[in-house]
Structure 1
């Protein structure tokens, strides 16, 4: 049974989410505070976290970032805040999806299912990667490796955690070095998982990935901008 952790201080909303998701077959734990949510995250590792941004003891964005540092669990923000700036900030904090209140419970369930489905797909990769005939995706100089088992990047010997959307983009780049991808190509690569996905969202993901893989994010060596088109991934041999 898939598990959902709801961190929401509005009792009525929290109970409604728990009741609906339970009826859909999910096991649900509820927390009205950030501190309690962090404890449940450790004691009750969920498959998805539903996080409200307005909590009595934590700033929601900071809590999102804290959860992301501790876990690779998919995080869906559920908030009254509908400004694009809030959504972009949430992506930068490590969120994988953003749903504005009020919303349809059917849409919520569909998004939760998409998050879990993509997680399962990513976790299934190691079985293939373990075969000697199918090596891990990697750069020729092996400075940057894709760890499919833990959904991490190994960057110059250091493990770097990514969001699921960042991981999917990086996997695509590593599989096709030198190929130019339009923003629409990248949107389609993560559509159905990162439900809040626009040109701006792609740009935010690229900025975050550059911070994680480049030695100088302001002068990217690997993830290059192709002006007017999109992005491409370059290896050492490509120059």
Structure 2
């Protein structure tokens, strides 16, 4: 049974989320104070976090940033804010998806189920290693060393921690260098048809990757934007 942490200070909304999750076969805990989230996540093993952005004590943005730096777990933002800037900021800090209030409970459950299913596949791939015989033990790109079978990335001898989707995106581009892929093609390859978001999330993940692997993320040399076409990894 998947265990989900609900981070929500509105007791009515938190109880609604908890009731629907439990009726769908999930176990759910609730926290309403932002300062309690990080210790709780480190202490207990959760499979997914439903994270409100506006919280007492510590904002959802700060929580998302801290969790993503230390723990690989799907984070679904649940927020009353629907402005594009707020959504992009949350995704840029490491959230996997978002849903705005008020929401359809059935849509919430569908998104939770989709993210749990997707992360289970990614984790299985990481633990078993790639079964594609064409994969190399190492791929060298500029000052990066990518190890597809061990799910590790090194830059100038220092290991870089990448969440599952960022690693798969980088690995796919590195295994297909000098080719241009549209956002739609990358979305289909990395996220799949059953994912509930859209291709715009590719840009967010590319930007996150650039912050970690480029010497200057504002002037990327490894992952290049081909305007009007998509992205290309230069080798």
Q: TM-score range by the shorter chain?
A: 0.7 to 0.9
Aligned counterpart, 1:109: 109
Matches within 5 A, 1:196-215: 196-199=197-200, 201-215=201-215
Measured in 1, the distance between the counterparts of 2:193 and 2:22 equals: 22
C-alpha deviation, 1:148, in angstroms: 6.2
- Decide whether aligned partners of structure 1 residues 136 and 38 sit closer, same or farther in structure 2, where only a CA change above 3 A counts: farther
Q: Which residue of 2 aligns with 1:144?
A: 145
How many residue pairs get aligned? The number is 233
Q: Output one character per residue of 1:181-218: Cα deviation in whole Å (capped at 9) or x when no partner.
A: 0122123232557644343x332221211111112223
In 2, Cα distance between the equivalents of 1:184 and 1:51?
27
**Shift in Å at residue 70 of structure 1?**
2.0
User: Normalised by the size of structure 2, how large is the TM-score?
Assistant: 0.88
1:128 is displaced (CA, Å) by 4.5
Q: Determine the structure 1 residue equivalent to 2:77.
A: 77
CA distance in 2, matches of 1:77, 1:146: 31
In 2: Cα distance, 1:65 partner to 1:129 partner: 28
Q: What is the match of residue 39 of structure 1?
A: 39
TM-score normalised by the chain length of structure 1: 0.86
Equivalent residue for 1:27?
A: 27
Deviation string 1:120-164 (CA, Å, 9 cap, x unpaired) is 111112454277956566424683314666x65333332323344
Residue in structure 2 matched with residue 93 of structure 1 by the alignment: 93
Is 1:48–1:73's contact at 8 Å kept on the other side of the alignment? Answer: yes
Q: What are structure 2's unaligned runs of at least 5 residues?
A: none
Farther-moved stretch of structure 1 (188-197 vs 14-23) = 188-197
| Inter-partner Cα distance in structure 2 for 1:169 and 1:57 | 34
Deviation at 1:223, TM superposition (A): 0.5
- Partner Cα separation in structure 2 for residue 212 and residue 147 of structure 1: 17
- List alignment gaps of at least 5 residues for structure 1: none
TM-fit CA distance, 1:36 = 1.7
Structure 1 residues 140 and 42 mapped into 2: Cα distance closer, same or farther (>3 Å)? closer
Q: Could you tell me which residue of structure 2 aligns to residue 52 of structure 1?
A: 52
Q: Following the alignment from structure 1 to structure 2, what is the Cα–Cα distance between the partners of residues 127 and 70?
A: 18
Structure 1 counterpart of 2:123: 123
Q: Distance in 1 between matches of 2:218 and 2:19?
A: 47
Deviations 1:4-23 (A, max 9, x none): 01111111111111111111
Cα root mean square deviation, aligned: 2.5
Shift of 1:229: 0.4
Contact 1:210 1:217 in 2 (8 A): yes
